[in-house]
Amino acid sequence: VRDLDTGGIEPQWFQMPRPPDGDEGIFTGSKDGAPTTKGLYAIHPDGSGLRAIGEVSTTETQEGGSKTWRISFQDPAISPDGSTIAYWSWEPRDGTGPSDAYMHLRDLDTGEELPVLFDPMGADNPMGDDNGLGIHFSPDGDHVVFEGCPSASSQLCYGSLDGSTPSEPIGPRFSYQSRKGFDFSPDGRKV
């Protein structure tokens, strides 16, 4: 066991070897420990190749009391082939209204934001096409399951990553305050 020099970036919570071979470690971190400077980073196991994965400073914010702060890069998940990272952030839609949970996909090589092609809950989702949180990739990387939030209650949703079919709610509705966690079975046939 050895500590890697992260160049003054303080790792925060998420750290995972990049599939399929672990050639990089992917982590969230901050230069000053503040959530407003939290970003995604990669580093090789020998400590070389430290790099930011795309933009660190984002416009994702949550309002509370008399101040606004960024709550970005929540529950990151890496696709099985290691090409994409999914996460959600608190942010206002189109810069207006209250903040809510919106999903993001990012290319791990370029850091480029990728479009969310699946339509979470279709017309039943009044929050917009990429509202939702807790994205999990299927073992083959073709599908996702996530928590959709169309109202005061939540529901799991299943959809194709390429957007070829709309997402479908699965299972019963539940209170977001009593969520217990979820994921795909190893064969990808159950959640």
In tens, the pLDDT along 118-166 reads 765 555 544 445 678 889 999 999 999 999 865 667 889 888 888 887 7
Report helix, strand or coil for 178. helix
> For the whole model, what pTM was predicted?
0.85
Q: Cβ distance 127 to 148 under 8 Å?
A: no
Of the candidates 58, 56, 71, the one whose C-alpha atom is nearest the C-alpha of residue 101 is 71
Which parts of 17-62 fold into alpha helices (H)?
none
Both structure tokens of 98 = 């209250």
* C-alpha–C-alpha distance, residues 15 and 175, integer Å: 29
Q: Cβ distance 88 to 101 under 8 Å?
A: yes
* C-alpha–C-alpha distance, residues 139 and 156, integer Å: 17
Q: Cβ distance 131 to 148 under 8 Å?
A: yes
β-pairing, 10-17 vs 62-64, is: unpaired
Of the candidates 128, 135, 87, the one whose C-alpha atom is nearest the C-alpha of residue 107 is 87
The pLDDT of residue 101 is 78
Of the candidates 80, 122, 86, the one whose C-alpha atom is nearest the C-alpha of residue 104 is 86
| Residues of the chain below pLDDT 70 | 35-36, 57-70, 92-99, 119-130, 149-152
